Amino acid sequence: MPSDIHADPRNLLRALFDAAVEAAQAGRCLAPHLPLPPRGRCVVVGAGKAAAAMARSVEDNWAGDLGDLSGLVVTRYGHGTATRRIEVVEAAHPVPDRAGREAAQSILGLVEPLGPDDLVLCLISGGGSALLALPAQGVSLEDKQAVNRALLSAGATITEMNTLRKHLSAIKGGRLAVAAAPARLVSLLISDVPGDDPAVIASGPTVADPTTFADARAVLDKYAIPAPATVAAHLAAAADETPKPGDPRLAASEVHLIATPGASLDAAAALAREAGFETIILGDSLEGEARELGSLHGAMARGRLIDAPLIILSGGETTVTMSDAGSSGGRGGRNAEYLLALAIALHGAPGVYAIACDSDGIDGSEDNAGAIITPESLARARAGGLDPRARLLDHDAYGFFEALGDLVVTGPTLTNVNDFRAILITAG
């Protein structure tokens, strides 16, 4: 353990985040879940921010002849890594692009000819839904992109977004598993969703889908999103429902969770306790508006000052609703926005520090993983001419923390178990 953890709370917060990320690295957690080589072919496919790292780990740990492996995985731009047998394609996230569509079409083409002696090894992680961008027949990629952008701006939850994505897709919502039958299908999942539901992770391309076309239409209605004509027609026709639980075409499919947000929080908690701090885990599935959760956690931390030294950990995925943005707008990210609201709620409370970062290393669409606050953050900001509340109104938390020099920049971590938050109370 670094000797200066207690001397510099920033170092401890960063060490906690690093421990959470390390627990979810494919090189650490994938090998024990690999199946034995099949009698026939083994085709590796997959999608997500960790897909390339997972493919690399498969190659490094495969029990059979490496020459027998083939396949293709798609990951976010900048999240690729070198592989020997499995092709890696990079595509756009969170709004899909043509590279993702072509990769998804190629994946279907790889699995459709396989037979019962063959194995499909599917590597799925967060971000896979946008990266497997193969629209249903009659729906254009451009219209699917428009719906995706509207849902992001409206602050829809990941479950709501994936419900709609499944019913506008030719590959998600169990359709990849149907295409792979009768081959044996083994899916290895790194979860980035509250509850670790395989049907929600990357829109569940290899598992049964309990949602319906009616559920998808309800999501658009909830947020009053006008659907493009092709989308509205496809959802209204409801002619090709996703496979449901019990569908015999999914009988040869099995799913293994190899990394979860909860396990990453546990790894951080172990380090915190080793450093001598009482630790509370609020849960790994906290959702809601980022600024509202930040305000709530600020009030909670102020009420726990007498319990110092204490570390409060949480995970999950908040949302940022852009429809209420101020006139100038700003560069945000849900973790930075959470922290700015937290700092305002703490109002310079002594001895309270915090970090919030996306475990994939990218907070929203910016170049930072998140940020750090200290008891002096608001005072430093005001001394520099920054108005914290105005920046929060404009969703410009990135600009706020950039000016303070308190952004956390890691680059792509090649995994994704959602957001990590830690509040460190050193003194009351």
Q: Which residues contact 133 (CB under 8 A, 6 or more apart)?
A: 91, 96, 97, 100, 101, 104, 141, 144
> With 50 as the cut, is the pLDDT of residue 3 above it?
no
Map residue 166 onto helix, strand or coil. Answer: helix
Sheet holding 184-190, edge to edge: 87-91, 69-76, 42-47, 119-125, 184-190, 253-259
Count Cβ atoms below 10 Å from residue 416 Cβ, excluding itself.
29
Count the neighbouring beta carbons within 10 Å of the beta carbon of residue 50.
38
Does the pLDDT of residue 324 top 60, yes or no?
A: no
Residue 234's nearest CA partner among 173, 164, 162 is 164
The CA distance from 139 to 205, in Å, is 18
- C-alpha distances in Å from residue 104, one per residue of 89, 100, 109: 10, 6, 9
Task: Report the distance separating Cα 121 and Cα 258, nearest Å.
Answer: 14
**Mean pLDDT score of the chain:** 94
CB atoms within 10 A of CB 225: 18
Q: 176 near 74, Cβ under 8 Å?
A: no
Sequence ranges of the domains in the chain: 9-22+262-425, 26-259
pLDDT exceeds cutoff 60 at 325: no
Q: What interhelical angle do 158-166 and 213-222 show, nearest 10?
A: 130
Q: How confident is the model at residue 162 (pLDDT cuts 50, 70, 90)?
A: confident
User: How far is the C-alpha of 166 from the C-alpha of 177, rounded, in Å?
Assistant: 13
| pLDDT score, position 46 | 98
Class of the CATH-defined domain 9-22+262-425: alpha beta
Count of C-beta atoms within a 10 Å radius of residue 274: 11
> Residue 314's beta-bridge partner residues?
421
| pTM of the predicted protein model | 0.92
Share of the chain above pLDDT 70, in %: 96
What pLDDT is attached to residue 148? Answer: 86
The CATH number of 26-259 is: 3.40.50.10180
